[in-house]
Each structure stands twice: as C-alpha cells, then as structure tokens.
A and B are shown apart, each in its own frame.
Chain A
Amino acid sequence: MKTRMKEYRARLSLTQEKLAEIVGVRRETIIFLEKGKYNPSLKLAHSIARALEAGIEDIFVFDDD
C-alpha cells in the first residue's frame, strides 16, 4: 500500500507532530504510515483522511489499483 499523506500534509502545512496530535496517534505512527510500513485500521484511515481534507482513496493507494 502506498500513501500520499506527505503530499496532502504539505498542502495544509501540517507537521507530522501536528497531524499525530489531531488524529490521536504517536508521531512514529505517522512516520510508518507515510513510509507505507504500517497498514492503518479503517477508523484511523478515516481520521487521517478527514484531517487532511481528502477522501480515504485519495490518501491510501493499494498496489492492486
């Protein structure tokens, strides 16, 4: 799975720390998510998409797609 979190985060000028605070996770979790090394739950993916003002499918891209 690939993510476009970094790109969307940059658009909103959000730091990893700030995004982590908004969605209620640790900064390390954001780092792992951005590197595609952690698959989030649907709930977390939804929270991130909302925080980044985008749809889940815009942020998280599956390799099969």
Chain B
Amino acid sequence: MRARLILIAYAVISVLGLMMMLARENVYVVGALVLGFLLLGHRELWSLVRYRRLPVIDERVRHNLTGAMRLTGGFFFLASIVLILLLRFDVFENTPTGLIISGLLVIVGVVYLISYHYYDRVCPNLGETAMRWLKICLITAGLALSTVALAIVLHNMVSAWFGFEDAFFFILGLLVAPAVLAASLLGSLAVFIKGLWASFRGVEPA
C-alpha cells in the first residue's frame, strides 16, 4: 500500500514537473526524465502490464533500493559539484543548459540502474576474491581519475612557476593515469558482468 502511494505521488510530481519543463521548452530534460522513468520503473511497468499488479517490495528489494539510492545520491552530489565547477570555468561554452542538465539526469539514472543491479544481482553472486578484485579496480579507477585532475593542475602550475614546459605531469595526466583508469574500469566491468551473468545462468524454474 505504501509503495503504491509512493509510486502515485512520484507519478503525479513527475507529470507536473514534465508539464513545467515543457512549458519552459526544456525538451531535452523532459526526454531525459521520461527515459529515466522507463529505465528505473521498467520492472513495475512490466508487472502492471503483464499481471495487472505492482511487484512486491520485500525486505531484500528495500535493502537493495536503499543501497542504490545512497550510492546514486553520493554520485549526484559529486557530479553536481563537478558540473558547477565546469560551468564556472565556462567549459561547455554555447551548449544549452537543458542539454547539460538532461545529460546529468541520464548519467545519474544509469548510475542508479548499475547500483541497483550491483546490489540485486552482482553482489550475491560474487565470491570473496571477486569482490576484493572489484573493490581494488574501483579504488584504482577513483585514484586514476583524481590523478588526471591533479596532474593537469600541477602541470599548469609547474609550467607557470618555473617557465618551462613540464613533461612529467603531462605524461602522467594524459597518458599513464588515463591508461590505468581505462584498465581498472575494464577490470570492474569484467567482474560486474561475471556476477550478472552468474545470476542469469543460475535462475531456476519455479
């Protein structure tokens, strides 16, 4: 009952939001919200179409939802800070604001979807070793990403202070760190897919 009320409230607020966005001609944001709704609510929508009822939200699903929302909230917070900084330095130049916001919303939606699948499908199917590898890969990716940003800043600072073109931070920021980032992201993706695949393979008939 509570889940149904939340869904109805969410639908009403979404429709009002969409009408407001349409009135302001923010078509991209409307598109992103509709896409997000379809991506996030595909299970509920499928259940409504197929069985004419909402799926049960049991304690496992509630736990997964809470974990996914916490991760997505953290990502949204960090991504908003980065976006504000990028906008402050006018990185996007003539890109329409609606397009930038819709991009952020779509990415946040995708992060939510990945997080939910991580808790729902991947996490229970991975052993201790695979989980350790996933953690190592994600931490390495985070460190590599930070190194890229830091190396760019340090390269500019060293070049400005000492008056010569710095090579160390340039190579670190533009070659080494991105390569490590790509490798660690590929590693995490491989472990993630392994867990997801195990879940699909392991489903038994009722």
Give Cα A28–Cα B206 distance, bound, in whole angstroms: 10
* B124 in contact with A26 (CB, 8 Å): no
Chain B's closest residue to A20 (CB) is B56
Within 8 Å CB of A43, what residues of B? 59
Q: Per a CB cutoff under 8 Å, which of B59, B61, B124, B202 touches A41?
A: B59
Answer yes or no: B41 CB below 8 A from chain A CBs. Answer: no
Q: Per a CB cutoff under 8 Å, which of A20, A32, A40, A44 touches B124?
A: A32
Q: Mark A41-61, 1 if CB is under 8 A from B, else 0.
A: 101100000000000000000
Within 8 Å CB of B56, what residues of A? 20, 24-26
Give the number of chain B interface residues (Cβ < 8 Å): 13
Chain A's closest residue to B202 (CB) is A35
* B206 in contact with A17 (CB, 8 Å): yes
Please indicate which of the listed interface residues A20, A31, A44 has the most CB atoms of chain B within 10 Å of its own CB. Answer: A31
Within 8 Å CB of B58, what residues of A? 24-26, 29, 44
Give Cα A9–Cα B173 distance, bound, in whole angstroms: 58
Within 8 Å CB of A38, what residues of B? 60, 124
- 24 cross-chain CB contacts under 8 A: A15-B206, A17-B206, A24-B56, A24-B58, A25-B56, A25-B58, A26-B55, A26-B56, A26-B60, A26-B61, A27-B206, A28-B60, A28-B120, A29-B60, A31-B202, A32-B60, A32-B124, A35-B202, A37-B124, A37-B125, A38-B60, A38-B124, A41-B59, A44-B58
Residues of B within 8 A of A (CB): 55-56, 58-61, 120, 124-125, 202-204, 206
